[in-house]
Chains A and B, each alone.
Chain A
Amino acid sequence: MSLSKRFLAELVGTFILVFFGPGAAAITLMIAKGSSPPNPFNIGIGALGGLGDWFAIGMAFALAISAVIYSIGRISGAHINPAVTIALWATKRFPSNEVAPYIVAQLIGASLGSILFFACVGIEAATVGGLGATAPFPGISYGQAILAEAIGTFLLMFVIMGVAVDQRAPPGFAGLVIGLTVGGIIVTIGNITGSSLNPARTFGPYLGDSLVGINLWQYFPIYIIGPIVGAVLAAFLYDYLAKE
């Protein structure tokens, strides 16, 4: 498969992820607008059904990720996440010269996902829903946010290694298991950092928000450092554990 086709597949896959995942978070905030959050830690997500709001958002991510893995998994590998691409490269499973094109495709796809979500919903998607952007919640420090993102992405990559990369894994389950894993992680980490686990997933909404004057870029390093550190550690640890 040519690199250009795989580039396009990664772009489309990340577009689907960002349109439907962060889109669900933005819609939740828009539905919750007007209701009174019970405490400052509750910014609106959680006003409707408590932790159930995060479960619903997590399920939107889970289904989108499963759909992408099953649809383009054989074409591009469906990384749809620079942290996953970098972890596979770090463990010598992905060629160095294809890392940059994959990440560029993921960033473009994520940006298109946010911009087209904005085009579908309107200005309140950004002003109320923030386009589903991630940011540390009140009381969460920069360091805590990086740690939470690293731990969340560690689990994601650890599962990818076990259910997909390891040749002993039973075939056919990767999409379902990885999607549900991300959904589960979001339920716990969502109200800490927004649970990005993916620099591209945060980049798209940040860029979309920038277009309407909302600047969240000061938090972007959290969503680069945390996911990449977590994913690389998980890949190396899995390799160590799985070796005879």
Chain B
Amino acid sequence: MKCYICAKEGKEMDAVAICIVCGMGVCMDHLVREEMEVWKGDYPFPSKKLKKTIPRIVCQICYSAYKED
């Protein structure tokens, strides 16, 4: 799979990841990798933040859309 954003720019670059939101294949230059906090538990148990985070990879377009909020 090739990077969609590179392809739009007329370049050809192998994708190294897939955006979890839109499914776009992205290269290292066009992805954003963030560590997400994970909370476990719901009524009647108090929620606990787990020590380990979960990595999430999104493309730059989805990332900027989320950050608009």
User: Which residues 41-55 of B sit at the A interface, judged by CB distance below 8 A?
Assistant: 41-49
Is A17 part of the binding interface, using a Cβ–Cβ cutoff of 8 Å? no
Q: How far is the CB of B22 from chain A (nearest CB, A)?
A: 26
Question: A69 and B43: CB pair below 8 A?
Answer: yes
Is A162 part of the binding interface, using a Cβ–Cβ cutoff of 8 Å? no
Residues in chain A near residue B43, CB distance under 8 A:
69, 73-74, 77-78, 164, 174-175
- The docked-state distance in angstroms from the alpha carbon of A88 to that of B44 is 9
Residues in chain B near residue A165, CB distance under 8 A:
44
Question: A75 and B44: CB pair below 8 A?
Answer: no
Residues in chain B near residue A12, CB distance under 8 A:
none
Residues in chain A near residue B47, CB distance under 8 A:
1, 74-75
Which among B42, B44, B46, B48 is the interface contact of A171 at CB below 8 angstroms?
B42
Residue-wise, chain A 75-94 has the 8 Å CB interface mask toward B (1 for contact) of 11111000010001000011
- The docked-state distance in angstroms from the alpha carbon of A101 to that of B43 is 18
Question: B42 and A73: CB pair below 8 A?
Answer: yes
Q: Interface size for chain B: under 10, 10 to 19, 20 to 34, or 35 or more residues?
A: 10 to 19
Q: Interface size for chain A: under 10, 10 to 19, 20 to 34, or 35 or more residues?
A: 20 to 34
Residues in chain A near residue B41, CB distance under 8 A:
74, 77
Question: A78 and B44: CB pair below 8 A?
Answer: yes
- The docked-state distance in angstroms from the alpha carbon of A74 to that of B48 is 9
Question: B48 and A73: CB pair below 8 A?
Answer: no
Question: B48 and A77: CB pair below 8 A?
Answer: no
Q: How far is the CB of B38 from chain A (nearest CB, A)?
A: 13
Residue-wise, chain A 1-19 has the 8 Å CB interface mask toward B (1 for contact) of 1000010000000000000
User: Which residues 5-63 of B sit at the A interface, judged by CB distance below 8 A?
Assistant: 39, 41-49
Extra pairs beyond A74-B39, A74-B43 (16, CB < 8 Å): A1-B47, A1-B48, A1-B49, A6-B46, A73-B42, A74-B42, A76-B46, A77-B45, A77-B46, A78-B43, A78-B44, A93-B45, A94-B45, A160-B44, A164-B43, A174-B44
Cβ-closest 4 pairs across A and B: A73-B43, A74-B47, A77-B44, A77-B46
Which residues on A are within 8 Å of B, measured CB to CB? 1, 6, 69, 73-79, 84, 88, 93-94, 160, 164-165, 171, 174-175
Which residues on B are within 8 Å of A, measured CB to CB? 39, 41-49
29 interchain pairs, CB-CB under 8 A: A1-B46, A1-B48, A1-B49, A6-B46, A69-B43, A73-B43, A73-B44, A74-B39, A74-B41, A74-B42, A74-B43, A74-B47, A75-B46, A77-B43, A77-B44, A77-B45, A77-B46, A78-B44, A79-B44, A84-B44, A93-B45, A94-B45, A160-B44, A164-B42, A164-B44, A165-B44, A171-B42, A174-B44, A175-B43
